[in-house]
Each structure stands twice: as structure tokens, then as C-alpha cells.
Amino acid sequence: MTDPALIAKTVVWGAFALGLIFGFVGNKTRFCTMGAVSDIVSIGDWNRMRMWLLAMAVAILGAAGLQGAGLIDVSKSIYATPNLIWLSNIVGGFLFGAGMTLASGCGSKTLIRVGTGNLKSLVVLIVAAIAAYMTLRGVFGVFRVWAIDPVALKLPANQDLPSLAANAFGSARGLMLAIVSLGAAGALLVFVFMKREFLSFDNVLGGAVTGLIIIGGWYLSGHLGYLPEDPNTLEAKFYATNSGRMESLSFVAPQAYLLELLMFWSDTSRAVTFGIATALGTIVGSLAWALWSRSFLLESFRDAEDLINHLVGGTLMGFGGILGLGCTIGQGISGVSTLALGSMLALLSIIAGSVTAMKVQYWRLGG
């Protein structure tokens, strides 16, 4: 397939299908990172966290398999570059984690809850999209580029662990990829399945399907959507991605690009992309499950304080998600599947920000 228009359509419709499945399964299984952290902090329940870690393990194995087969190259993603923007990862991740707690859910959960009729999440979606766009190209972006992004560490190799290990030990990257990915995924799988109470249909379904969807995203954008020589420019090109690189699921920047598309619809230079299609598909998939299960219900804010929390949370998610290069799905699963150091820093910072915000909320309530 060498027709650019056909490739772009394949990527967009494939991404919509992936989002549709993710939204449907995510709603059914209550897949939610903020909920997973909350379950641990409040009642010591690790089941939803294990679901998230299962998705991570599956995605790591799948990404490694695609690389080993020569179908994708993670160095052509935004995650596995030699430039480690560690401060952006830490600060952005922490702010995103705090924001998702105030907003009652991360970027993916916000889209899923919009599909269930939650008007609070619709407000969060709009606010987060505006804040994200301001961080990409607006006033927040000026601060980001001037004060935070320049604080970086230039590594001797790409920042994914297999490349760093290969550079350090003088070994073949393929060998290090197999060792590191099998070791990381194996450790996660042992932890996930060591407790029998995790073994419910929904828990395994939510984790396994989410991981497979991330793999599908890499294959779709990094292989089917890639031409080593574009017929118009004679240069390598990834089609229908906003970053101009291979992408898998992420839910902050796509919200900003969806807002831009709706605002400049008559501008023919703008089109539906991989990220936009996955976001729209997630809402539709969640709506499908809500209607199927008869769980669709309009829900709004209980009071002014609830509204303020969600407005602040949405702003922090939009700003932090762009600053940290992703959300709980974008960095926590897609990025971690590449075994990139920056993604791991962002992931730990997201959890730290979420736990901190929860502790503050409990303290305010006298808990």
C-alpha cells in the first residue's frame, strides 16, 4: 500500500476502531488509573492496579515483538529519543496526577465518562483541551519552552533501556531488548497474578485488551502508516499523526488537536488524525456499553466546590499532560512499552501527584 490518501484513511479508521474497543471494554471493566491509585490509598485494594500493570506487561511484550520482527522502530516515537527531559517528565507527571484526582479521572477515564453521560467529565474534557492547547502553542507553551523543557540530559544513546544497556555493555540491541523486555514484563506478570482474587473475567479482560490495543496502535501508525519514501517528498513519513512520528494511544494532546479541528474546521489543512480518532472512538465505545448495559445517566456537579475542583483538575491535566509528554495511558502504558526512562519518570510522578492530592483531600475532610 503506497497511496498516501489510502494509508491515512487506514490509520484514522483503524485508530477509531481501537478507541471504540478501548472505550467499550474500559467502561465495562472500570479500567481507571486514578481509581486504581484511590483503591490502594483508601482501602488497600490492588486489583485495579494489577489490571493496569497487566496492560503494561502485555504492551511491553508486544512492542518488543514488533521491534524484534522489524515492523516498528521505537526510536521514531516521541518517547525513545536521546534527549531526556527529566524535569518536564517529573513536573508534568506530578501536576497531571494531582489534576486527575481533582477531576475524578485521568484523560482516558474522562472520555469514557463522557460516553456514560457524565456532564462533569464533559466540562473537564473542554477545560483540559483548552489548557493543553495553551501549553502546546499558547501562553503556557511560552513558559514551558523557556523554563522547563530546556532542562534536559543528553544521553549517549536513545533513552529506552535496551539501547542504553547495549551502549553500556557493547552488546547487540536485539539481545538487550529481549532480556530487558522479558525481565520487565515477567516481573509485572508475576506480581499481577500472585493474588488469586485478581482472577476475575473483567480484571483480566481490561488489562489484556488495553495492552493489545497499545500494540495495535504501534503496528497501525508505525508500520501500516509508515512509508520509507513518500511519493511526494521522497522522504520517510508517518501518516495521520499529529507528532509526525509513530504513535499509540495517548489522551491529552489529542484533546487539544480535536479542539483545534473543531475550531478551524473550514481549514482544509487540518484533518482527523490517529490521536483524534482514538479519542472519538473511546467516547463512542463507552457510550455503546452504557446503552447496552442501561447504565447511561446524566450526572452533574453537586456544588460550587465540586465545580472548582474539576476546573482546576482539568487545567492541571491539560498543562501537566503536555509538559510530561502524556497521561496514564500515553506515558504509563504506550511510553513504558518502549521501556523509555522518561516514561518511567513520568509514570512514577503521576502516581506521586495523585497520592499527594488524595492525601490532601482526606486531610481537608478530617480523615
Per-residue model confidence as pLDDT tens digits over 130-163: 999 999 999 999 999 999 999 999 999 999 999 9
62: nearest Cα among 74, 50, 75, 48 = 74
Q: Which amino acid is at 178?
A: A
φ/ψ region of 170 (left if φ > 0, alpha if ψ in -120 to 50, else beta) reads: left
Closest CA to 66 of 337, 275, 254: 337
Give SS3 for 153.
strand
Angle at 339 between CA 343 and CA 98, to 5 degrees: 20
Question: pLDDT by residue (tens digit) across 1-44?
Answer: 678 899 999 999 999 999 999 999 999 999 998 899 999 998 99
Spatial distance between the Cα atoms of 323 and 87, rounded to a whole number of angstroms? 9
Q: Which residues contact 337 (CB under 8 A, 6 or more apart)?
A: 56, 59, 60, 62, 63, 214, 215, 218, 248
Three-class SS string for 215-236?
A: HHHHHHHHHHCEECCCCCCCCC
| Residue pLDDT, tens place only, 88-137 | 999 999 999 999 999 999 999 999 999 999 999 999 999 999 999 999 99
Indicate the residue type of 33.
T
pLDDT at position 367 is: 57
- pTM of the model as a whole: 0.96
DSSP sequence for 5-25: HHHHHHHHHHHHHHHHHHHHH
Lowest mean pLDDT among 40-44, 69-73, 231-235, 314-318: 231-235
Q: What is the mean pLDDT of the chain?
A: 95
Distance CA 290, CA 172 (A): 49
C-alpha cell at 17: 476502531
Residue 127: φ, ψ to 5°: -65, -45
Task: Report yes or no: 50 and 324 within 8 Å, Cβ to Cβ.
Answer: no
